[in-house]
Amino acid sequence: MIEINHFPYGMNDPYIKINGCERAPDDPLEREKVLIEFSVNAGGAGERAWIEFPDSSKKDIRAQFQYSRDGKAYWRATFVNGQAGEKIKYRICAGQGKKSATKSGIFEYTVKKWKNVDINSLDSLFNFNEDFKKELLKPQVLTDGKNIFSVKLALKKDVDESFYGFGEHYESLKAGENDKRYLWVFDQYKVQRKRGYAPVPFFFSKKGKGIFIDTGYMLEIEIVKDRVDIHINTQGDIWEKTNLHYWNEKNPVDIIKRMQSISSPCNPPSWAFGPWLSANEWNSQEKIERVLKIIKDLDLPSSVIVIEAWTDEQTYYIFNGAEYEPGKGDKFFKLEDFKFKYPWPDPKGMIEKLSSEGIKLVLWNIPILKKEKLEECEQLKNDKKYASEKNFSIKNDEGDFEIPEGRWFEGSYVVDFFNKRAREWWIEKRKYLDDLGISGFKTDGGEHLYFRDTRGKNISQAKMKNLYPEKYFESAKKILSDDSLLFSRSGYTRSPSNSLFWVGDEDSDFDALRANITAGLNVSISGNPFWGWDIAGFSGELPSVDLYIRSLQIALFTPIFQWHSETSGDPEPSAERSPWNIEKYWNKRGIVDYYRKIVSLRMAMMPYIEKEVKYALDNKIPLTVPIEIITEQNDENLAYLFGRDILVVPFVSEEIKNVEIQFPDGEWIDLRTGDIFREGETTKASLEKFIPVYLRKGADIPISLPNSKNMLDTQWHPYHNAWLHCRMREEILDEGFETGHLTKDLNELGFLKVKWRN
């Protein structure tokens, strides 16, 4: 039997095409040539194909054969649209002739056109201030003559003006002339470049302009010589009035404050800023307890362990190996309903053992109902049936939406978090995990939605794709008690109100290191201040020693300090990015000792980090601020402030050993040399044993100092008991402080010995 494949809108995604089977353009305009591409999966001698127009006087259009591949013949045909408002219906026919032809269903669209509108008419489309009108050039609306759909705005810009923000992107901090990007939540596995898991429809310039378009619709932004073109694409939805914020401030940080007041970041528990440990191969309680023994034996202070491979890989809320009596889809399990067995014989006991050492447990989670395997899980089958009947999963025209082939978790249903009852059902399924004593979820995924006919409760795919992570995190947070957190990969404008963030999957090489730090800083200046990345990368071959050491140095001054690895099961050699595994793999002694010093410094810095987190939240500023946006510096060496008083030059390249930086306001002490630099001065920062770090002169930095007075000695439970007074030696003596060396051997890391007092 002949099968015809044609997807007019493709996957409704700017980054993915269904080659040879789409319509171009997907939303055809007045008098525009339309290309129809399709495939037929059963060809033969004498086969032909054509386009029919039911209920129309249009003549049939013969299709032209293109090529055959994998048992499919690919065809194309073209025709020209009429005027806006015309309804076009067509179907595709294939066979040896009209009597024997197979016909597709009917595809339909309404012809539209772009229409120039008066700037004052935008009052009916947007809520915005009058100052914005002064920046606009020739707005346009997409209309069928009756309704308005998408909107195009052109914003004035100076010829030399660049922009920052846009949420997560990986190539650079700034966007300049000829830069084009989409603000669209997308799962790009590695090498993301301009594609982001967590975009934000917000951007600003150093000249004081800031724009935030508060919508879930996809934005297409293109920067040209004298303007910024903004296309707000409703993807066929009728336009809904939208809030548009235009800010004009004295400096970029004040614009970021405006954005962060909207994103409203959560206040993480203090333990979130200690060292995190994670590896996808940790698939048993035995392995977790082995890791705990290793870090205790090696005296490696740690705050968090993340377990990804804990579930049955079916329901994604039941521990692997647990015995239980399956129930209907509306059954909510309690802890006593399970008899835990290998590989997780006693999760509660394991959590209590970790807790006794001051270590919190975070479990991985995903918002899907998985496609059943052949060895079908009865509980999953019941859950899916119930979710389908109650409309708790995302829908499309055929029923339950399934993640398309070739995408992560293909064939699975996706939970509809726009449906209040679906949210409550999903939460209750996992509520027993809070009773176990877990401290958070690694809320992975959230980028699973495709196709134009996909919809949640009272929301279309046009808005849902971007807004889905916000609803997902809002739901997951309700499972947990107060002193807990979420750690998430996807995101959008208001995601920070419920979750911390990591910048996604990347390789273990220097190119990926640069991409990760760039993405983290971009997220930070877009209203999401608490970010991390997988130290030294999580994918591919184990990182080189140089990459591992450099990554640890940078992570010391990153909001979330976390290492993780991709490979599951029992790989040989192990894929762990743990210091003991890196040392073993490269047969290079000293890596564990070096790591111990880094995490000891991290623990010593905890009082400073907690103080700066509070300041960042109270004053609505990032915890990490790239100095490029607050100085006249134009090159992108990614130097940034970590809090107010520490300036970091990360050196994310394998080859570059010197970069020029310009100092922000204040005076800065080079920790390696004691040299002092003033605001506006430039210097050649060099990479030696440690990345360059500068302290603000005159700052009083709270620290946690071990009894040995050596910041490199370990402590598992830091508390504020000392200060770093960032002054010259004679100034400290003049003030009558008790003085002494902070450390016996910090110089081996390249640090200057700084004085202290109790």
- Secondary structure, 3-state, 37-84: EEEECCCCCCCEEEEECCCCCCCCEECEEEEEECCEEEEEEEEECCCC
Q: Is 447 a catalytic residue?
A: yes
Strand pairing class (242-248; 227-233): unpaired
Measuring CA to CA, how many Å separate 272 from each of 132, 163, 295, 620?
40, 32, 18, 19
Neighbours of 665 (CB within 10 A): 11
Angle at CA of residue 107, ends 102 and 108, nearest 5°: 150
d(CA 305, CA 362): 6
Helix axes 420-436, 461-477, angle to 10 degrees: 30
Catalytic residue among 13, 52, 505, 534: 505
Closest of 363, 140, 297, 97 to residue 233, by C-alpha: 140
Structure tokens at 50: 């054509």
Q: Is 474 a catalytic residue?
A: no
For residue 747, the SS3 value is helix
d(CA 306, CA 354): 12
Secondary structure (DSSP) of 437-449 = T--EEEE------
Helix ranges, 406-505 (H): 420-436, 461-477
**Contact present, 421 and 445 (Cβ < 8 Å):** no
3-state helix vs strand vs coil in the chain, percent to 5: 25, 30, 50
**664: which residues sit within 8 A by CB, 6+ positions away?**
627, 630, 631, 641, 647, 679
Catalytic residue among 144, 281, 308, 444: 444
Strand pairing class (368-369; 440-443): unpaired
Measuring CA to CA, how many Å separate 488 from each of 276, 362, 437, 440, 497?
14, 12, 20, 11, 12
Secondary structure (DSSP) of 107-173 = EEEE-BEEEE--GGGGGGTEE--HHHHTTEEEEEEEESSS-EEEEEEEEE--TT--BEEEE--SS-S
**Contact present, 301 and 318 (Cβ < 8 Å):** no
Catalytic residue among 416, 447, 566, 576: 447
Structure tokens at 577: 């990015």
Structure tokens at 223: 């920067």
Angle at CA of residue 353, ends 347 and 356, nearest 5°: 140
Secondary structure (DSSP) of 556-570 = TTSSEEEE-----S-
Q: What is the DSSP letter of 335?
A: G
Q: What is the DSSP letter of 734?
A: H
d(CA 84, CA 145): 6
Closest of 440, 479, 481, 475 to residue 307, by C-alpha: 440
d(CA 482, CA 476): 13
Q: Is 505 a catalytic residue?
A: yes
d(CA 746, CA 755): 13
d(CA 177, CA 226): 9
So which residues are the catalytic ones?
444, 447, 505
